[in-house]
């Protein structure tokens, strides 16, 4: 059993905290916004109640997990309460917010505490730079929804120690998940880079006039066994998400190859962001 502090109670942090509590760890969940903590508690209780109804978990296991999961609306209180072996940061994807938080965690947490980030794109060395413990900083990249998805990428920076990696692998295995350990850091890591490469090739084929959106999605589903095609997936996750990620990458690299594609930019400018707006690559009724 370990003590884990999860910072950020949004889509990812709330479920990561629950996964850890269900696995028997003591967890403290912190967010700057008390409303997010209330929402996380409400959503997790609803979700767990449904799992009990479906017979996937016992009511006793769920009650015990909630007893191990505390919330705190001040970081200092959270750090003190948790006295954590490990912090998993899951706050908004902005480097200045994360860097400031890592500096504060470095001040608040005992020297042995590992500081891990769930960032989808920032490499750990960027966050380690804000701390005096680069050997105990790495990325632990969970996938959405964290309660369901098995893979967790463990990404060491150049100064991350082997002991830190081993400890993170241990933790991931204790959660019943599958650790995928990178040899060295790269923005976006493994799974999302591959996903994005497929998406970019699909867009290239479409913009080159080689095949239509539906044809490309059908090929991916029926030839490659993908559960959904790249255009369907973009509509589901929100076309603006990939657009903003590319803009951020371009701001970092200055490489025109990292700019969002023409067709994606046009969709975003017209407000066609996918299912959530009723129109993206496809049109959806009743939104």
Name the residues that contact ligand NAD, by CB under 6 A: 7-13, 30-33, 36, 90-93, 97, 101, 118-120, 142-144
> Least distance in Å: CB of 177 to ligand NAD?
13
Q: Closer CB to ligand NAD, residue 117 or residue 216?
A: 117
Q: Closer CB to ligand NAD, residue 101 or residue 155?
A: 101
Closest CA to 13 of 147, 170, 136, 138: 147
Is 272 an annotated catalytic residue? Answer: no
Is 192 an annotated catalytic residue? Answer: yes
Q: Closer CB to ligand NAD, residue 26 or residue 139?
A: 139
Q: Closer CB to ligand NAD, residue 21 or residue 216?
A: 21
> Least distance in Å: CB of 228 to ligand NAD?
16
Task: Return the residue nearest ligand NAD (CB atom).
Answer: 10
Q: How far is C-alpha 198 from the chain's CA centre?
A: 20
> Least distance in Å: CB of 54 to ligand NAD?
24
Q: Look at residue 180 and give its three-state secondary structure.
A: strand
Strand order in the sheet with 86-89: 69-72, 26-30, 3-7, 86-89, 114-117, 137-142, 151-156, 178-181
Q: Judging by beta carbons within 10 Å of its beta carbon (0-12, 13-18, 19+), is residue 265 exposed, middle or buried? A: middle
Measured CA angle at 29 (ends 26, 34), to 5 deg: 150
Q: Using CA atoms, how far apart are residues 145 and 73, in angstroms rounded to an integer?
A: 24
Task: Determine contact, residues 144/237, Cβ cutoff 8 Å.
Answer: no
Q: Using CA atoms, how far apart are residues 243 and 227, in angstroms rounded to an integer?
A: 22
Q: Using CA atoms, how far apart are residues 278 and 49, in angstroms rounded to an integer?
A: 31
Q: Closer CB to ligand NAD, residue 28 or residue 91?
A: 91
Is 153 an annotated catalytic residue? Answer: yes
Is 174 an annotated catalytic residue? Answer: no
> Cα dihedral angle (168, 172, 178, 179), rounded to 10 degrees?
-10
> Least distance in Å: CB of 102 to ligand NAD?
10
> Least distance in Å: CB of 55 to ligand NAD?
28
Q: Tokens for 25? A: 């760890």
Q: Which of 192, 196, 261, 263 is catalytic?
A: 192
Q: Which of 117, 118, 125, 141 is catalytic?
A: 141
Just list the catalytic residues.
Answer: 120, 141, 153, 192
């Amino acid at each position: 059993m370990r003590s884990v502090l999860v910072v950020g109670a949004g889509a990812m942090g709330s479920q990561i905290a629950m996964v850890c509590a269900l696995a028997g760890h003591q967890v403290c969940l912190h967010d700057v916004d008390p409303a997010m903590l209330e929402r996380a508690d409400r959503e997790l209780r609803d979700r767990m109640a449904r799992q009990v109804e479906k017979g996937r978990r016992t009511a006793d296991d769920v009650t015990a997990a909630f007893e191990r999961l505390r919330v705190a609306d001040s970081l200092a209180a959270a750090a003190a309460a948790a006295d954590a072996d490990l912090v998993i940061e899951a706050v908004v994807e902005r480097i200045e917010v994360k860097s400031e938080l890592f500096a504060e965690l470095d001040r608040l947490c005992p020297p042995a505490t590992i500081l891990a980030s769930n960032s989808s794109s920032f490499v750990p060395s960027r966050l380690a730079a804000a701390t005096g413990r680069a050997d105990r900083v790495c990325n632990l990249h969970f996938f959405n929804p964290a309660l369901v998805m098995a893979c967790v990428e463990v990404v060491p920076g150049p100064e991350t120690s082997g002991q830190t990696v081993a400890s993170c692998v241990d933790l991931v295995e204790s959660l019943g998940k599958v650790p995928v350990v990178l040899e060295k850091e790269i923005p976006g890591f493994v799974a999302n880079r591959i996903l994005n490469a497929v998406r970019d090739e699909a867009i290239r084929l479409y913009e080159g006039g080689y095949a239509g959106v539906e044809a490309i999605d059908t090929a991916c589903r029926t030839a490659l066994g993908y559960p959904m095609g790249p255009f369907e997936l973009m509509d589901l996750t929100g076309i603006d998400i990939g657009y903003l990620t590319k803009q951020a990458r371009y701001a970092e690299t200055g490489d025109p190859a990292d700019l969002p594609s023409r067709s994606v930019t046009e969709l975003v400018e017209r407000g066609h962001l996918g299912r959530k707006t009723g129109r993206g690559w496809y049109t959806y009724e009743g939104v």
